[in-house]
Structure 1
Amino acid sequence: MRIEDFDFNLPEELIAQTPLKDRTSSRLMVLDKEKHTIRNHHFYEVIDFLNEGDCLVLNDTKVLPARLYGTKTDTGGKVEVLLLTQMENDDWEVLVKPAKRIKAGTEISFGDGKLTATCIDTKDHGGRILRFHYEGIFYEVLDELGEMPLPPYIKEQLNERDRYQTVYAKEEGSAAAPTAGLHFTEDLLEKIKQKGIEIAFITLHVGLGTFRPVSVEDVETHEMHAEFYQMTEETAAQLNAVKKRGGRIISVGTTSTRTLETIARDTGGTFAAKNGWTDIFIYPPYTFKAIDGLITNFHLPKSTLIMLVSALADRDFILEAYNKAVEEKYRFFSFGDAMLIL
């Protein structure tokens, strides 16, 4: 398939710049992938489409304040660093701007020297490996000096850090939020559990693989960046039991989906306690082995995310829904509205 097959016209004013005051008041477009019907609701009504015995799978990754601003120690030139993945000890894979000025051996200082870094390797697409130096606990230093890594299409300042964090975030390590989960509140999750719907947690630390643009014309030649995931024995047993009794597994977000499909692919359609790195790339045609439904936000044109959604519900139907969302002025991307596909 060609990248143009996943394009649509998106007016810039529909890109949500700030989160809504009430997380659950976002709009919710409900798609029936078999009947090809489209209905408009609000997110707090999502519970009406979930049945007793279903299971929602949430990604409990926690976003780091992963954007740092520093200076080159030799020239004083300004440098922006986005932490992506911790490699070993204090070595991190990062994105840097301007990348061409950061070479192996370059020294960078942050916060008047409270944190420093040495570039020890270079990667493609502006990627670098930095070795950090500091006193104390790294995450405490990062919490003091770093900013939440909002996507570049969000121009507004975020006044409350926790609005770019799910209410169930636990495992530190993400460079971006699993944004489908931003619509849930603790109160809504409690109501969902009271209805007899199970909640399961997996972890995928969101990195470059999720938001790196597709730069090739032929979709099949795009290579995903690997991201770390893990599933516990408890979650594996829970999901296998749901499948066995005929309950639906509904993934919250594309990151949860990629984790579940990676494990189901590697274990023959069941679930097992597992951790590792996944570079799974889901695009049409694809047979889903793990999930029965998906809650997701509205994504960028030509992105790997809209390709994944198009694999679940038929590309033409998804594009029809996206065009309808544009017509009805749904809010797009990280702080935008949601879609439920069943």
Structure 2
Amino acid sequence: MRVEDFDFELPEELIALRPARPRDAARLLCVPPAGALKDRHVRDLPGLLRPGDLLLLNDTAVIPARLSGRRLAREEGGAEARMEATLIERLDEARWLALAKPGRKLAVGDRLRFGGEGEACFLEMLDARVEAKGEGGEVTLSFAFQGPFLDDAIRERGTMPLPPYIAGRRAPDAQDRSDYQTVFAAREGAVAAPTAGLHFTEELFAALEEKGIEKRFVTLHVGAGTFLPVKAETTESHVMHAEWGEVSEATAEAINAARRRGGRLVAIGTTALRILESAADANGRVHAFSGKTDIFITPGYRFKAVDLLFTNFHLPRSTLFMLVAAFSGLERMRAAYAHAIAERYRFYSYGDACLLELAVPAMRPR
């Protein structure tokens, strides 16, 4: 399909710069396969699901992956240069793949210093060496610390890696440390939030449990590639980024048991959906999974595991809008987004959400 088929116009003022408060006060657009769209709120979710349904949530935790600093002088008396690096993938205990800005000013062998000396109580500085440069603007940084010491230094000096459509309009601040993290985040490794999960509160979980709706956790460490535009002209020409994820044996067993009882699987976010579909076999049975997935879901894909998708509103021409178009149908999603724009829903990471029902029923495990 042509990427331009997934384009739409969004007024800039509908891009949310802060989340709703409380989190579950956000609006929720219910999108059945046919019939009228329904305007609700996230706090209404218990009444929109059935006893026996199973929520699947991504428990990844976002690290403060954006580091500001400077390139040290290359020779005595030389000039330093301000720069910024966003960590995108951990390579080992001391090395990270990062996107640097301005990357063109960096050369292999350059030394970078993040933060000002004396900011941390136990670290005088956080230095890194540029070990390699890639063709796509990424650099490999080898840090002076490793393991837990490096993790602590990044937490001390980093800021939350807000997506470009927010960071371009305001600077990250202390409030984003909590706002851009789910209340159930448990496993550090993401450099972007699983944003559908941002809407959930302990009060909402209690109401869902009272209704007989259980929850289980999967993991997908969301990478910076989730924000990359699709530059290819056709979906077939796009190369999907890979992300590490895991579905435990116990969670896989709980999923299959829920399906056998007639319960529906409700993926909370596209990241949860992608790891679940990666872990499902051709017969619809979910297995334990651990490793990288680059699954790219576009219209025509036959869903194997997920029955409903709770997700935010996504960017035009993005792989995520392609995914929801595959789930509910492109024309149906065009209509849903047009309704959301007309009704002044708030879009993207800190915005409102929609609850999608699968257009073609998912496979039942055999």
TM bucket by the smaller chain?
over 0.9
Query: What's 1:55 paired with?
Result: 54
Deviations 1:91-141 (A, max 9, x none): 111111112222322221112361111122222332121111138722211
Query: What's 2:237 paired with?
Result: 221
Partner of 1:37, secondary structure, is coil
Partner of 1:144, secondary structure, is helix
Query: What's 1:84 paired with?
Result: 88
Pair 1:149 & 2:161 matched: yes
For 1:238-249, list aligned pairs within 5 A.
238-249=254-265
Partner of 2:255, secondary structure, is helix
TM-score by length of 2: 0.90
In the TM superposition, residue 221 of structure 1 has moved relative to its aligned partner by 0.8
Q: Check 1:81–1:237 CA distance in 2 against 1; reply closer, same or farther (3 A cut).
A: same
Code of the residue aligned with 2:106 in structure 1: it is: I
Query: What's 1:25 paired with?
Result: 25
Code of the residue aligned with 2:306 in structure 1: it is: I
- Checking the alignment, whether the CA contact within 8 Å between 2:89 and 2:96 is kept in structure 1 is yes
Code of the residue aligned with 1:143 in structure 2: it is: R
> Counterparts of 1:172 and 1:197 in 2: how far apart (Å)?
27
Pair 1:329 & 2:344 matched: yes
Code of the residue aligned with 1:334 in structure 2: it is: S
For 1:169-180, list aligned pairs within 5 A.
169-180=185-196
For 1:52-201, list aligned pairs within 5 A.
52-74=51-73, 75-111=79-115, 112=117, 114-134=125-145, 137-154=149-166, 155-157=169-171, 158-160=173-175, 161-201=177-217
- Checking the alignment, whether the CA contact within 8 Å between 1:18 and 1:156 is kept in structure 2 is no
Code of the residue aligned with 1:149 in structure 2: it is: P
Query: What's 2:121 paired with?
Result: none
Partner of 1:169, secondary structure, is coil
Query: What's 1:7 paired with?
Result: 7
Code of the residue aligned with 2:111 in structure 1: it is: E
Q: What's the C-alpha RMSD, in Å, of the aligned pairs? A: 1.4
Q: Check 1:132–1:36 CA distance in 2 against 1; reply closer, same or farther (3 A cut).
A: farther
> Counterparts of 1:162 and 1:231 in 2: how far apart (Å)?
25
Partner of 1:258, secondary structure, is helix
Pair 1:295 & 2:306 matched: no
User: Unaligned 5+ residue runs, structure 2?
Assistant: 74-78, 118-123, 358-366
In the TM superposition, residue 317 of structure 1 has moved relative to its aligned partner by 0.7
TM-score by length of 1: 0.96
- Checking the alignment, whether the CA contact within 8 Å between 2:65 and 2:161 is kept in structure 1 is yes
- Checking the alignment, whether the CA contact within 8 Å between 1:92 and 1:130 is kept in structure 2 is yes
Q: Check 1:218–1:114 CA distance in 2 against 1; reply closer, same or farther (3 A cut).
A: same
- Checking the alignment, whether the CA contact within 8 Å between 2:192 and 2:224 is kept in structure 1 is no
Code of the residue aligned with 2:30 in structure 1: it is: V
- Checking the alignment, whether the CA contact within 8 Å between 1:96 and 1:127 is kept in structure 2 is yes
Code of the residue aligned with 1:91 in structure 2: it is: R
Deviations 1:232-276 (A, max 9, x none): 1111111111112121001000111110111114x7521222210
In the TM superposition, residue 36 of structure 1 has moved relative to its aligned partner by 4.1
> Counterparts of 1:141 and 1:271 in 2: how far apart (Å)?
38
> Counterparts of 1:159 and 1:107 in 2: how far apart (Å)?
28
In the TM superposition, residue 4 of structure 1 has moved relative to its aligned partner by 0.9
